[in-house]
């Protein structure tokens, strides 16, 4: 599905999360006429009214004019400002205490995978996701819908060169953990404690570029009965192993 207008989001969770976490992003909300109101939709209306956001009731045809194909709008669309991104320099200048956990995406262009990845790392308490300006999925309504609004909870770091950014992270004491189907070590053999680290994931078709792979401090694989896992699923496996190890050491594992 290709959108005619990038700055629209749809679905109850993405719209609700956007209102609650960054109401200034919302320009206007459109609710489909005749659509059955449930608790979530009522919460959207209440939050919109609280934040003095304009709400309009429109026919389904009004929704469909912004999209080339029909999607499940769940009765609500919001006109929004684009998702804010930050530079790597801005991220590194934020001197909060504790070790930082990042994910870097190399040439992942599927917006559904990108959204699922954001949802996973936000849920796992990671500190940001690093993407390139080119050959990366656009930050559009598909990403926001796939992330279930989690995109409002995690910094999106954009760079012109992922290769240069990896080098910069290494200068700031980050360890680089790259997933590679041909790696000798398993993902659970890495000790993720007591260090800043960035987990690098490549596209399912091309994997991680050799230039970035050569900069990795750890190359790890995920054993599977299939040739490879979906990239968002594979990342979830590694991310939650890191989370598990850190929580066990800190006595917060449940």
Largest CA distance in the chain: 57
Full-model pTM: 0.81
Domain of residue 23, residue span = 8-80
Please tell me whether residues 76 and 106 are part of one structural domain: no
In this predicted model, what pLDDT tens digit does every residue of 58-73 receive, in sequence order?
887 766 766 655 677 8
- In CATH, what number is assigned to the domain containing residue 205? 3.40.1280.10
* Burial track 20-32 (b if 16+ CB lie within 10 A, e otherwise): eeeeebbeebbbb
What is the per-residue pLDDT for 4?
39
In a domain, 182, yes or no: yes
Going by the DSSP 8-state scheme, the letter that residue 196 receives in this structure is E
Measured CA angle at 193 (ends 96, 116), to 5 deg: 75
Please tell me whether residues 110 and 204 are part of one structural domain: yes
- Considering 80, 105, 140, which residue would you say is the last residue of a domain? 80
Measured CA angle at 111 (ends 235, 79), to 5 deg: 130
In this predicted model, what pLDDT tens digit does every residue of 120-164 receive, in sequence order?
999 999 999 999 988 888 888 788 888 888 888 899 999 999 999
From 243, 247, 252, 250, select the one nearest 127 (Cα to Cα). Answer: 243
Tens of each residue's pLDDT in the chain, 254 residues: 333 344 888 889 889 988 998 898 899 999 988 888 888 899 999 999 999 999 999 887 766 766 655 677 888 989 888 888 999 999 999 878 899 999 999 999 898 999 999 999 999 999 999 999 888 888 887 888 888 888 888 999 999 999 999 999 999 999 999 999 889 999 999 999 999 999 999 987 778 999 999 999 999 998 876 666 789 999 999 999 999 999 999 887 76
């Amino acid at each position: 599905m290709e959108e005619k207008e990038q700055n629209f989001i749809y679905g109850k969770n993405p719209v609700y999360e956007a209102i609650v976490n960054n109401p200034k992003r919302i320009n206007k909300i459109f609710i489909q006429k005749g659509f059955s109101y449930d608790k979530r939709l009522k919460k959207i209306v209440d939050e919109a009214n609280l934040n003095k956001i304009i709400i309009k009731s429109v026919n389904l045809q009004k929704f469909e004019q912004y999209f080339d194909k029909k999607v499940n709008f769940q009765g609500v669309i919001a006109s929004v400002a684009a998702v804010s991104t930050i530079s790597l320099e801005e991220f590194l200048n934020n001197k909060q205490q504790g070790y930082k956990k990042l994910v870097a995406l190399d040439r992942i262009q599927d917006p559904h995978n990108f959204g699922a990845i954001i949802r996973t790392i936000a849920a796992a308490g990671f500190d940001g996701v690093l993407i390139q300006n080119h050959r990366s999925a656009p930050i559009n309504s598909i990403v926001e819908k796939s992330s279930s609004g989690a995109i409002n909870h995690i910094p999106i770091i954009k760079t012109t060169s992922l290769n240069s950014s990896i080098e910069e992270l290494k200068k700031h004491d980050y360890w680089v953990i790259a997933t590679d189907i041909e790696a000798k070590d398993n993902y659970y053999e890495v000790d993720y404690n007591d260090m800043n680290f960035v987990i690098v994931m490549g596209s399912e078709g091309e994997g991680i570029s050799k230039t970035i792979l050569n900069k990795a401090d750890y190359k790890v694989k995920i054993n599977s009965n299939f040739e490879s896992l979906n990239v968002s699923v594979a990342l979830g496996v590694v991310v939650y192993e890191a989370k598990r190890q850190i929580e066990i050491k800190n006595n917060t594992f449940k």
